[in-house]
Amino acid sequence: MSVKVRIPTILRTYTDGSSEVKADGGTLAEVLASLDANYPGIRARLLDDSGKLRRFVNVYVGEEDVRFAGGLDTPTPEGTQVSVIPAVAGGAR
């Protein structure tokens, strides 16, 4: 299944400056593997040594934060938008 992945500025050195790229996979884990095949090294920036999403990376599948869904097992249906966003801010008020 083909999905679109939005790439944050900090990772665009891997995608030749592209802010959005295509990837394949039925789950987030598969999408990240597909992404890494096309842009080697990018997955290691998103996952820590134990293979979990880094603490300061937020990944959304559609509008859902994957931490509220299935994490790396979150399904990524055809045409889904996946967004990778550094987990800053929160400084509301």
Cα–chain center distance at 81: 10
Instruction: Kindly give the pairing relationship between strand 2-6 and strand 20-24.
Output: antiparallel
Write out the binding residues for other proteins, residues 20-49 only, by CB under 8 A: 45
Residues 6+ apart with CB under 8 A from 12: 18, 19
**End-to-end distance of the chain based on CA atoms, in angstroms?**
40
Applying CB under 8 A, does 88 fall inside the site for other proteins? Answer: yes
Q: Closest separation between CB of residue 80 and other proteins, Å?
A: 16
CA–CA separation, 31 and 3 (whole Å): 8
- Token pair, residue 84, equals 């990778």
Write out the binding residues for other proteins, residues 54-83 only, by CB under 8 A: 54-58, 60, 63, 65, 67-68, 83
Q: Closest separation between CB of residue 82 and other proteins, Å?
A: 12
Site size toward other proteins, by CB under 8 A:
26
19 or 26: CB nearest other proteins: 19
Judged by the rule CB under 8 A, the positions of this chain that interact with other proteins are 6, 8-10, 19, 45, 54-58, 60, 63, 65, 67-68, 83, 85-93
